[in-house]
């Protein structure tokens, strides 16, 4: 008989207590209702911290976008006033500027939030998560299962959890 490691999905003999491939404990920690609640709350707190970091990036991107749009529009209006632009051209150019800046800033925003999530997860969230699970003697995969249930779909912490497609990035794909 074999069983599957909940952390790395390796096949293990039925007698194994620890995964020989990733080193994770196979048996879940017995949790009281309060333990469970505390772990859920910790997962939500970590996610809130990730969201907070993201908000800062969103604000910066939005402010920079607004500055670029305003500067472009002011130069267009200046051109209009020195009679190099007709009113129709002014309107068309303005719409084009707004559209272009929107497309570019949306792309930058996606890239920056992704980077911000990864940086803050790596530098701030993951160390706290690691010390939490080791203090609780909780296997990482068990935390991940509880967090997956506690978090709403699309919550940024989810991409760093087991069971999420993007989760491979954590610990270089290893879950301990
Ligand atoms: Zn394993």
pLDDT tens digits along 117-148: 888 898 999 999 999 999 999 999 999 999 99
Q: For residues 20 and 2, is the Cβ–Cβ distance under 8 A? A: no
| 3: β partners | 12
Please classify residue 44 by burial: count the beta carbons closer than 10 Å to its beta carbon, then call 0-12 exposed, 13-18 middle and 19+ buried: middle
**Centre of ligand 1 from the C-alpha of residue 169, in Å:** 16
User: Quick check: pTM over 0.85?
Assistant: no
User: Once rounded to an integer, what is the mean pLDDT over residues 13-41?
Assistant: 92
Tens digits of residue pLDDT in 75-111:
888 988 888 888 888 889 889 999 999 899 888 888 8
Distance 15 CA to ligand 1 centre (A): 14
Across 57-94, b (16+ Cβ under 10 Å) vs e yields beeebeeebeeebeebbeebeeebeeeebeeeebeebb
Considering only CA atoms, which of 136, 115, 7 is closest in space to residue 61?
115
The DSSP output letter for 168 is G
User: 41 alpha carbon to ligand 1 midpoint, in Å?
Assistant: 26
- Find, among 82, 72, 124, 76, the residue nearest to 102 by Cα: 72
Nearest to 129 by CA among 71, 73, 47, 69: 47
Cβ neighbours of residue 87 under 8 Å, at least 6 residues apart? 80
> Separation of 26 CA from ligand 1 center, angstroms?
8
Ligand 1 mean position to 19 CA, how many Å?
5
DSSP 173: G
Residue 164 pLDDT: 62
């Amino acid at each position: 008989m074999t069983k599957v490691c909940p952390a790395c999905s390796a096949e293990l003999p039925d007698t194994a207590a620890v995964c020989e491939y990733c080193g994770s404990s196979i048996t879940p920690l017995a949790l009281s209702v309060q333990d469970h609640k505390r772990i859920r709350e910790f997962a939500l707190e970590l996610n809130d911290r990730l969201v907070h970091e993201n908000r800062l990036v969103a604000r910066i991107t939005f402010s920079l976008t607004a500055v670029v749009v305003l500067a472009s529009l002011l130069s267009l209006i200046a051109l209009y006033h020195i009679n190099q632009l007709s009113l129709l051209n002014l309107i068309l150019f303005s719409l084009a500027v707004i559209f272009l800046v929107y497309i570019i800033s949306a792309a930058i925003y996606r890239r920056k939030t992704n980077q911000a999530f990864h940086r803050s997860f790596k530098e701030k969230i993951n160390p706290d998560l690691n010390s939490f699970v080791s203090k609780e003697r909780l296997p990482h995969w068990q935390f991940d299962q509880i967090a997956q249930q506690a978090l709403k779909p699309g919550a940024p912490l989810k991409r760093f959890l087991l069971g999420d497609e993007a989760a491979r990035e954590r610990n270089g794909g290893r879950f301990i």
